[in-house]
Homo-oligomer: A and B are copies of this chain.
Amino acid sequence: MSSTKELTDVIYEWSEIFMRRSGRDFKHCMDQSRLSFSQIILLMRLYHGGRNGVSGIGEQLGITNAAASQSIDRLVNLGLIERTEDPEDRRAKQLVLTRQGQALITKSVKARGQWIERLTKALTLEQQNMVIAALDLLTKAARKMDS
């Protein structure tokens, strides 16, 4: 089986569909929460527990400290982030999502999940099991690759 060719094609088509869907999902999330793209990205970084200082965030997002500080300030005022002084180093701030901030991200993850779930449920049981197995494999591969 010329598996390589097929693999590339199938993945390309899936990517195209998923890319489009991602765009819609993000847009929807932005409209609902009245947040900008970069604010959502910022929340997602915190959600996944990256470096949690102001400059750490800025660095990850490719913006200056000043920009990060201002953006964070808005999110704090919206009650989505908690900003406390780091007891170990009183210059630094510790940034954590509030319950509300976490809810916002999980909600959009769930919304996307529901879309895939709807797709999957349209399949036969056998096919469903294959999809589950495949996504599980991909998830594990992605985790391994990121770490």
Contacts and interface: CB of A to CB of B under 8 A. Distances in A.
A13 interface: yes
A112 B18 contact: yes
Contact of A136 (B10, B23, B144): B10
A11 B53 CA distance: 31
Interface residues of A, number: 63
A121 to B, nearest CB: 8
Contacts of A66: none
Contact of A7 (B12, B22, B37, B128): B128
A34 interface: no
Contacts of A62: 27, 31
A3 B123 CA distance: 13
Interface in A101-147: 108-110, 112-113, 116-120, 122-123, 125, 127-139, 141-145
Interface string A1-45: 101001110111111111111110111001100001100110010
A48 interface: yes
A15 B6 CA distance: 24
A22 B26 contact: yes
A117 B7 contact: yes
Contact of A133 (B19, B31, B130): B130
Interface of A: 1, 3, 6-8, 10-23, 25-27, 30-31, 36-37, 40-41, 44, 48, 61-62, 108-110, 112-113, 116-120, 122-123, 125, 127-139, 141-145
